[in-house]
């Protein structure tokens, strides 16, 4: 049975990966500083970007 090709999301995976790495660092730093609301916001931004890359 043929497998469907991934959807093109228009998001450059390399740029998205770099952004995710940067946001992850910021999220960890915010959590280290006990800035949990900021860490949660960054987590949500990371998840949204991952969803775009995966075409979800």
Q: Can you say whether the dihedral through the CA atoms of 56, 50, 41, 15 is positive or negative?
A: negative
Task: Place 2 in a pLDDT band, splitting at 50, 70 and 90.
Answer: low
Largest CA distance in the chain: 51
pTM: 0.77
Task: Place 48 in a pLDDT band, splitting at 50, 70 and 90.
Answer: very high
Whole-number Å distance between alpha carbons of 13 and 53: 6
Q: What is the pLDDT of residues 22-44, one digit of tens each?
A: 999 999 999 999 999 999 999 99
pLDDT in the model for residue 7: 56
């Amino acid at each position: 049975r043929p497998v469907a090709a991934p959807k093109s999301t228009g998001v450059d995976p390399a740029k998205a990966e770099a952004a995710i790495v940067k946001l992850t660092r910021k999220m960890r730093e915010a959590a280290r500083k006990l800035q949990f609301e900021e860490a949660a916001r960054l987590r949500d931004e990371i998840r949204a970007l991952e969803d775009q890359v995966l075409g979800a």
